[in-house]
Amino acid sequence: MRRALWLGLITGFVYFVGTVYWTSTVLAVFGGMPMILAIVAMMLLAAYLAIYPAITAMVMARLISQGGRTALFFLPAAWIATEYLRGFFFGGFPWVPFGNSQVTMLAVAQVASVFGVYGLSALVAFVNAAIAFALLSTGRSRVIAGAATVALLVGVAAWGSWRVAEGSLTREGTVLRVGLIQGNVAQTDKLNPTPQSMRRIFTSYLAMTRDAVRRGAEYVIWPESSTPFTFGRDAVGEAALRDLAREVGVPILFGSDQIVAEPELRQYNAAFLLGPNGETQAVYRKIHLVPFGEFIPLQEWLTFVAPLVKRYLPFDAGDEVVLLPVNGHPTSTAICYEVVFPSLMRDAVLMGSQLLTTVTNDGWYGTSSAPYQHFEMASMRAIEEGRYMARSANTGISGVVDPYGRVVQASAIFEQVGLVAEVRLLTGRTIYSQIGDVIAYVGMALTLIALVVVRPRAKNVAHSSKPRA
């Protein structure tokens, strides 16, 4: 068990340092931390996340020690049990789950429409467990394990290829042309604005919106925190934005902080929808806040993040999904990081959302892999829910993904561009949208049952000297 714990921690540490390394740059550049301290903070985050693979390794060591190599096939259940729980504790951090590795393998990725990303994680874990089983086996057992795994993958790929080729979801529903505005505003300009830079940013968004509507956009989406002022606290800026909506005659979704004074002072990361008449149609407040970015988990113990705490006011979390009415159709949005939570998108679809959107500012992450990871996790939500996903990002990647995970149109990072792409407003439901993360619950149940049923072997004892009958 001790060996399994250390192997799991080492494996998990490598896994997460290799995928969330960019958090150190964010903390150093924008959090005011010395780089060495930022690297330590990143490594502590990776070490915490590594606990989950370590628990999986310990569970598997316990089962394999009693059940032999056959117990390897409990790996999918144990893996997704801990991976699912990673999305809950301390605000949740379900970044780069196993299953998301398959999002560009469209034939395989269609499994998400049935079992979600955790179903894909289970598939990846099963294939690896089967390979390990085959390597530890000989003769017939090895052949059966290899053949069964190949048959499973061929079956999954064949069904997934057929689903993508059939493509009925790209022919159904009402067509809507969406304009995605990527302002490419430098993060330094957003953090340290001057009157001149604020005016330049705002006029740029106004001009790009008019251009997108001239090119046929029927719904325009700006990124997270796109207004260089707090909407509702700047009368001039608010009036100009409402006038723009009336001028172009299309709904506009944009991100801005929202400050509420009553019954107590609260600050939200919000998305506002203005109708063609310039009136506010809906306001969505971000539910899943970014740890160490918008709130500090365990703040009383993590004193080394004091520079970050002082630099940013903590946000309050919203408490409900809000539907955004667009041309008579219910749609929804997610703000930045919360698009990585499958359940949030599912809640929106259960409420009737016909189009998934997300607004974000990935300018924090520079040219690291973070913007690409983030875009691909948003793409997975499209497959799970059988909906188009439209994404507007300040510095990219902005784009549209169809219900099968195919990228319809996408921008490069760090370019100023306005995309206009066609989406469809859909009402059908995937199996996953109906059953949710049942496979994760099954994984947790199977793991607990296995741990209870498989009892530790009795220790060897010396034979009694008493002669046997």
Residue 191's pLDDT band, with cuts at 50, 70 and 90, is confident
Percent share of the chain, pLDDT over 70: 92
Among the listed residues 377, 445, 309, 395, the one whose alpha carbon sits nearest the alpha carbon of residue 109: 377
Give the pLDDT confidence of 217-267 residue by residue, as tens digits: 999 999 999 999 999 899 999 999 999 999 999 999 999 999 988 778 888
Q: Write 164-169 long-range contacts (CB < 8 A, 24+).
A: 164/106, 164/107, 164/110, 164/404, 164/406, 167/404, 169/386, 169/402, 169/403, 169/404, 169/424, 169/426, 169/428
**Rounded Cα–Cα distance for residues 339 and 235 (Å):** 31
Measured CA to CA, the distance from residue 113 to residue 86 in angstroms comes to: 22
CA dihedral 330, 423, 409, 121 (to 10 degrees): 60
CA dist., res. 117 & res. 95, Å (int): 12
pLDDT, mean of residues 306-327: 76
Residue 425, pLDDT score: 98
User: What confidence tens digit (pLDDT) does each residue in 120-157 have?
Assistant: 999 999 999 999 999 999 889 999 999 999 999 999 99
- The reported pLDDT for the residue numbered 463 is 45
**Contact 67/129 with Cβ under 8 angstroms?**
no
Tokens of 281: 């149609």
422: annotated active-site residue: no
> Which of 93-97, 155-159, 187-191 has the least mean pLDDT?
187-191
Instruction: Categorize the per-residue pLDDT at 461 as very low, low, confident or very high, splitting at 50, 70 and 90.
Output: very low
Q: Which residues sit opposite 400 in a β-bridge?
A: 390, 409
| Catalytic entry in 336, 338, 376, 385 | 336
- Give me the residue spans of the domains in the chain: 2-167+436-453, 173-427
Active site residue 336: yes
Task: Quote the CA–CA distance of 432 and 113 in Å, as a whole number.
Answer: 5
The predicted pLDDT at position 31 comes to: 74
Given 218, 224, 238, 376, the catalytic residue:
224
Q: Distances in Å between the alpha carbon of 298 and those of 85, 230, 305?
A: 18, 29, 11
- pLDDT, residue 265, reads 84
Among the ranges given (303-312, 388-397, 419-428, 458-467), the one the predictor scored with the smallest mean pLDDT: 458-467
Domain 173-427 falls under CATH 3.20.20.70: no
Q: Of 349, 336, 340, give the one whose Cα is nearest residue 386.
A: 349
Using pLDDT thresholds of 50, 70 and 90, give the confidence band for residue 467. Answer: very low
172 as an active site residue: the answer is: no
For 6-34, what is the mean pLDDT? Answer: 91
Q: Which of 286, 294, 338, 384 is catalytic?
A: 286
